[in-house]
Amino acid sequence: MFLYKIDDQLSLKQAEVNDAERLFESTESGREYMKEWLPWLDFTVTVDDTREFVKGTMLGYAENRSLTTVILYEGEIVGTAGFNSINWSNKTAYIGYWLGHGYQGKGIMTRVAKGLTDYAFQHLKLNKVEIRAAEENKKSRGIPERLGFVKEGRIRQAEWLYDHFVDHIVYGVLADEWDTIE
């Protein structure tokens, strides 16, 4: 099982089936708030849906294609973060994340994204980490910007959000750049 301590308050733990209920509760408590940016919420309406999601992420980890973790903040599950995909041929990982509404504004996700980026370069020996966020999602875009990622461009109509397409802004950082940012 993957477990990665970021600091005294934060750890990342591979999502497991027995986390499904607590993860679903975290999703439910912020559903209306998070729905603005997360279209998968319409497909996650029961604990069983979350359990199936977790099983899929465990398979992705076993096949070395991805890593989805629960974010533990002072021992509580407050969201998820990880590598939505890892491209071993190109030595690139794509970070994805969401955080429960009541935990935003505490610097949690910035620390988590930093920890994942450190892990990608130091342990996985990757060359590049990317974060993509909807253009209008200022909070999500602020994370790679604070960490010194480079704004690389825009993917037009990258995601369907309920009734319209949104563009994504792509941020990236290279291993040799990360060494100088830190």
- CATH assignment at residue 169: 3.40.630.30
The structural domain count of the chain equals 1
Domain, as residue range, for 17: 3-181
Helix and strand tally (H, E) in the chain? 6, 8
* 97: β partners: 81
Collect all residues with Cβ–Cβ distance below 8 Å to 48 and sequence separation of at least 6. Answer: none
> What does the pLDDT look like over 103-151, one tens digit per residue?
989 999 999 999 999 999 999 999 999 999 999 999 999 999 999 999 9
The reported pTM is: 0.92
pLDDT of residue 182: 61
